[in-house]
Amino acid sequence: MDSFRFYKNDTQNPNSKTLYGVKGMHLFVSLVFFLLLMAVSFPGVAQKKVKLKQADQLRGGRDGDERFDRLIGNVILTQNQTTIYCDSAYFFKKRNFVEAFGRVKILEGDSVTITGRKLEYDGNTKKAKLRSNVVFTKLATATLYTDFLDFDRNTNVANYFNNGRLVDSINILTSSKGYYNVSSNLASFKRNVHVKNPDYTMTADSLQYNSRSKIIYFVTPTTVVDKDSSTFVYENGFYETTSKQSDLKLGSAETPEYKLDAENYKLDDIRKKYLFRKNVVMTYKKENLVIYGQSADYFKSKGIAKVYDHAYLAKVTENNDTLFISADTLVSIDSPDPAKKRLLAYHNVKIYKSDMQGLADSLEYRSLDSTIYFYKDPILWSQDNQMTADSISMLIKNNTIDRIYMVANSFVVSQDTLINFNQVKGRKMTTFFKNKKIDHVVVDGNGESLYFAMDEKTNKAMGMNKIICSSITIRFKEGKVNNMSFYVRPEASFIPPHELKIEDTKLKGFEWRAKEKPKREDVVKTPVVSSTSPSSERKRL
List the domain boundaries for the chain: 2-46, 49-157, 163-244, 255-375, 379-521
- Residue 353 buriedness (CB in 10 A; 0-12 / 13-18 / 19+): buried
Q: Which residues of 39-60 are buried (b: 16+ CB within 10 A; e: fewer)?
A: eeeeeeeeeeebebeebeeeee
Q: Name the percent of the chain lying above pLDDT 70.
A: 87
CA-to-CA distance for 311 and 313, rounded, in angstroms?
7
Tell me the torsion sign for CA atoms 476, 477, 481, 485.
Answer: negative
What are the pLDDT digits (tens) for 223-234?
888 887 877 788
Query: Which region, left, alpha or beta, applies to residue 339 given φ > 0 means left and ψ of -120 to 50 means alpha?
Result: alpha
Q: Which helix (H) or strand (E) holds 255?
A: none
Give pLDDT, residue 46.
Answer: 42
User: Within 10 A of 388 (CB to CB), how many other CB atoms are there?
Assistant: 21
What's the half-sphere exposure (Cβ side, CA atoms, 13 Å) at 68?
19
163-244 against 379-521: fold identical: yes
- Tell me the average pLDDT across 62-74: 91
Gap between the Cα atoms of 213 and 186, Å rounded: 9
pLDDT on residue 388: 95
- CATH class of the domain whose range is 379-521: mainly beta
Give the sign of the dihedral formed by CA 240, CA 244, CA 245, CA 250.
positive
For residue 45, pLDDT beyond 80 = no
CB atoms within 10 A of CB 14: 9
pLDDT in tens, 389-415: 999 999 988 878 899 999 999 999 988
Find out whether 324 and 314 touch, Cβ atoms under 8 Å: yes
Which residues touch 117 (CB under 8 Å, ≥6 apart)?
Answer: 101, 102, 103, 104, 131, 132, 133
Per the prediction, the chain carries an average pLDDT of 84
- Residues 466-511: tens digit of each pLDDT: 999 999 998 888 777 788 899 988 999 999 988 989 889 999 999 9
Query: How confident is the model over 443-454, as pLDDT tens digits?
Result: 999 999 998 888
- Kindly report, residue by residue over 137-193, the tens digit of the pLDDT: 988 788 999 999 999 999 999 999 889 999 988 889 999 999 999 989 899 999 999
- Whole-angstrom distance, CA of residue 533 vs CA of residue 261: 12
Q: How confident is the model at residue 6 (pLDDT cuts 50, 70, 90)?
A: very low
Note the pLDDT of residue 528: 57
The whole-number pLDDT of residue 324 equals: 93
Confidence label for 527 from pLDDT (cuts 50, 70 and 90): low
Residue 3: pLDDT band (50, 70, 90) is: very low
d(CA 265, CA 298): 11
CATH 2.60.450.10 holds for 255-375: yes
pLDDT at 336 over 70: yes
pLDDT(296) > 80: yes
Work out the burial of residue 179: count CB atoms within 10 Å of its CB; fewer than 13 is exposed, 13-18 middle, 19 or more buried.
Answer: middle
Which of the residue ranges 94-98, 216-220, 237-241, 269-273 has the most confident prediction, judged by mean pLDDT? 94-98
Count of alpha carbons within 13 angstroms of residue 238, beta-carbon side: 12
Query: Is residue 22 predicted with pLDDT exceeding 50?
Result: no
**Ramachandran quadrant class, 361 (left: phi over 0; alpha: psi -120 to 50; beta: rest):** alpha
Distance CA 186, CA 105 (A): 23
The pTM score is 0.64
Residues of 472-501 as b/e, b for ≥16 C-beta within 10 angstroms? bebebeeeebeebebeeeeeeeebeeeeee
Closest CA to 476 of 407, 383, 356: 383
Long-range contacts made by residues 332-338, C-beta under 8 angstroms, separation at least 24? 332/282, 332/284, 332/291, 332/304, 332/305, 332/306, 332/307, 333/303, 333/304, 334/257, 334/303, 334/304, 334/305, 335/303, 338/367, 338/368
Report pLDDT for 541.
Answer: 35
Task: Using DSSP, state whether 523 is helix, strand or coil.
Answer: helix
pLDDT tens digits, 238-274: 888 887 777 766 677 777 777 888 888 787 777 778 8
Contact 437, 476 (CB under 8 A): yes
- Long-range contacts of the stretch 62-67 (C-beta < 8 A, 24+): 63/92, 66/92, 66/94, 66/95, 67/92, 67/93, 67/94
Per-residue pLDDT band at 100 (split at 50, 70, 90): very high
CATH value of 49-157 in 2.40.160.40, 2.40.160.20, 2.60.450.10, 1.10.357.10? 2.60.450.10
* DSSP per residue, 405-424: EEEEEEEEEEE-TTS-EEEE
Question: Under the phi-then-psi rule, with left for phi > 0, alpha for psi from -120 to 50, and beta for the rest, what region is 394?
Answer: beta
| pLDDT higher at 416 or 27 | 416
d(CA 310, CA 540): 14
CATH of domain 163-244: 2.60.450.10
- Amino acid occupying residue 534: P
Q: Is there a contact between 410 and 426 (Cβ–Cβ < 8 Å)?
A: yes
Cβ-based neighbour number of residue 243 at 10 Å: 12
